[in-house]
Chain A
Amino acid sequence: MSTTYRTCPRSGLQFELQAERLMLANAVAAVVFLLVGGILAVGVVLTRWPAVHWLSADAFYMVLTAHGIDMLIFWIIFFEMAVLYFCSSTLLRCRIATPRMAWLGFALMLIGAVTNNIAVFRGSSSVMMTSYVPMMAEPAFYLGLILFAVGALIGCFVFLGTLVVAKREKTYQGSIPLVTFGAVTATIIAVFTITSGAIILIPTFLMSVGIVKEVDPLVYRTIWWAFGHSSQQINVAAHISIWYAIAAICFGAKPMSERVSRGAFLLYILFLQLASAHHLLADPGMSTEWKVVNTSYFMYFAVLASMIHGLTIPGAIEVAQREKGYTKGLFEWLRKAPWGNPVFSGMFISLIGFGFLGGISGVMMGTEQLNMLIHNTIYVPGHFHATVVVGTTLSFMALTYFLIPVLFKREMINPGLAKLQPYMFGLSMYFFCLVMMGAGTLGVARRHWDMTMGGSPLAYEFPGAAYLMMGLVGIAGIAAILGGAIYIYITVGSLLWGKKLEPGVQTTQTIPLPKTPMPNVVIQSHGSSGFAAPGTFALAMVFLVSFVLYYFINWKYLSQVWGLS
């Protein structure tokens, strides 16, 4: 098949024409949905801020439904499609498999996303992202999600097909690069996720049009969470791949042990999806064995994998920095890191926030007894904003700053503002997540329009601290939204007004990747003591102490729930 390849003069990366266009289309669609979701976020935070309490109940539930779906599904998965095409066609230097199918997938995703949004904004589908039956939305709500899912599934198989093309055309030898392997992990989780979505959303759609009489609510919840929570596990695999890529881009860092990193991704493939069960820990139908196996024993393998990635990526950066001469003390390598480069700062703020806030709170929530403290409280959105917004969205933002000159061939506008953006967005999200989790620990409900539930028999007088924290949620949320708006301004502004850059040499033949052995430099050359990166080791100890302390503090809280003595 004839196509052309462009070698970017700024990065040396080689872009195939069709893959490049697909990446651009998916990335632009992603940013549009981020913009819509971000505007909706204003309504959500200004309503949950008790002193403002802006929207009416009907408008709030509609806005919250659209915000959840646009952000958690459409923004993220469109961007992930761009990442998949980048990790396959660009990193493996090959043409994309079946580009027409890839465009069909993109078209279905776009039609599905628009259909779903129209259904929500018509006002009769305010069923939240979870859309639990028997609460029914318009048929177009489910149809939109199904079309989107089918499109995304096509994209996943185009990605797998591209791996086959690369292998057959020998554009690489040996194993695929680690970043591409991370994308394989994301794809596999996506196939499970989307299949689960189809299994439960198709009968629900048929129920909405009157063909199917009933969908069992417990079965719906179980299968829906295999879709709803696993979709966030696609993000984890994708953003961790991006962390590895950014460590290589900014520092030339090689993984401390590529075998260990690949092993950690394998643990994700086998076990990460099982964490969906923590949403069902208060459900009466599931056995204790099912809950314990899924949320504890097996989920801990995935937690182990996250900790491996969380240590090996800064460790790799530390080793690369020490090789450049930043060897003074434990942390000179970190002090001398390029903190003014938003590609690095975004990635590092994302990594720390994901581990300390999202990771520790996730393990706490996955413990059956402790889950009862915060189940269905606003602690849960506090946790997933730490994973999906601090972890995934901020990583995607950081990658975008790299892609503006490389993929979009534009000079970034306002680089001074871009330097500030990851700090403003990331640090305000840290605070947002912390106060949300604080309010959740005091029992503030997860989705309710009015936290006091005033006028109902369930009205409850929260302590003043809960109101304070919900006010801080509003303030931090607005600061984060401004940070997100700066990202959109820089991205869209660069595309529209940024100076055009030289696209690079075009050829009709790909230049295969050179044959290289599995890089395994650090452990081999420094022994296996783990002290090739002492600063990272110290950070890991801080993390573990925080983890243990927080875990036991929650057991202490639990012991105080019922006064037994």
Chain B
Amino acid sequence: MNENDPNDLNAPVPFMQELLDNPFLLLFLGVMIPMVVYSLWGVIDILTIPVAK
């Protein structure tokens, strides 16, 4: 049994493959990352613009 042999159907599934085989975990990551890095951070930037005096 060899983890690196793609022809061995009984080989243990590598971690990355497990990640790629889980669409709901990918959905969580694919929504959370842009929501935080783009949307949330962007809105915080706008809301923290100092008010003109």
Bound-complex Cα distance A352 to B39 (A): 32
Say whether B43 contacts A219, CB under 8 Å: yes
With an 8 Å Cβ cutoff, the count of chain B residues facing the other chain is: 29
Say whether A270 contacts B41, CB under 8 Å: no
Which residues of chain B have C-beta atoms less than 8 A from A262's C-beta? 20
Max chain A Cβ within 10 angstroms of own Cβ: one of B24, B26, B38, B45: B38
Which residues of chain B have C-beta atoms less than 8 A from A226's C-beta? 34, 38-39
Knowing A175-B17, A184-B23, A274-B37, the reply to whether A290 touches B9 (Cβ < 8 A) is: no
Interface of A is mostly: helix
Chain B CB within 8 A of A482 CB: no
Which residues of chain A have C-beta atoms less than 8 A from B19's C-beta? 266
Bound-complex Cα distance A262 to B21 (A): 10
Say whether B46 contacts A223, CB under 8 Å: no
Which residues of chain B have C-beta atoms less than 8 A from A356's C-beta? none
Give per-residue flags for B35-50: 1 if the beta carbon is below 8 A from chain A beta carbons, else 0. 1011101110111010
Bound-complex Cα distance A251 to B29 (A): 34
Bound-complex Cα distance A269 to B20 (A): 11
Give per-residue flags for A95-138: 1 if the beta carbon is below 8 A from chain B beta carbons, else 0. 00000000000000000000000000000000000000000000
Knowing A175-B17, A219-B43, A266-B20, the reply to whether A195 touches B30 (Cβ < 8 A) is: no
Interface of B is mostly: helix
Chain B CB within 8 A of A14 CB: no
Say whether A192 contacts B9, CB under 8 Å: no
Say whether A192 contacts B34, CB under 8 Å: yes
Chain B CB within 8 A of A529 CB: no
Say whether A294 contacts B26, CB under 8 Å: no
Q: Report how many A-B pairs have Cβ atoms within 8 Å.
A: 95
Bound-complex Cα distance A282 to B36 (A): 21
Which residues of chain A have C-beta atoms less than 8 A from B6's C-beta? 517-520, 524
Q: Which residues of chain A from 524 to 538 have any CB-CB distance to chain B below 8 Å in the complex? A: 524
- In the complex, which of the residues B17, B31, B41, B42 contacts A188, with contact meaning CB atoms closer than 8 Å? B31
- In the complex, which of the residues B7, B23, B45 contacts A290, with contact meaning CB atoms closer than 8 Å? B45
Give per-residue flags for A169-201: 1 if the beta carbon is below 8 A from chain B beta carbons, else 0. 000001110000100110111011001100100
Say whether B45 contacts A287, CB under 8 Å: yes
Which residues of chain B have C-beta atoms less than 8 A from A195's C-beta? 31
Closest B residue by C-beta to A524: B6
Closest A residue by C-beta to B24: A160
Which residues of chain B have C-beta atoms less than 8 A from A230's C-beta? 34
Chain A CB within 8 A of B27 CB: yes
Chain B CB within 8 A of A293 CB: yes
Knowing A196-B39, A262-B20, the reply to whether A285 touches B46 (Cβ < 8 A) is: yes
Chain B CB within 8 A of A273 CB: yes
Say whether B42 contacts A286, CB under 8 Å: yes
Chain B CB within 8 A of A79 CB: no
**21 A-B Cβ contacts within 8 A?**
A163-B23, A175-B20, A185-B30, A187-B23, A188-B23, A188-B30, A191-B30, A199-B39, A219-B46, A222-B43, A262-B20, A273-B38, A277-B38, A277-B42, A285-B46, A285-B49, A286-B46, A294-B38, A517-B8, A517-B9, A524-B6
CB within 8 Å of B: which residues of A?
A: 160, 163, 174-176, 181, 184-185, 187-189, 191-192, 195-196, 199, 216, 218-219, 222-223, 226, 230, 259, 262-263, 266, 269-271, 273-274, 276-277, 280, 285-287, 290, 293-294, 298, 515, 517-520, 524
CB within 8 Å of A: which residues of B?
A: 6-9, 16-17, 19-21, 23-24, 26-27, 29-31, 33-35, 37-39, 41-43, 45-47, 49
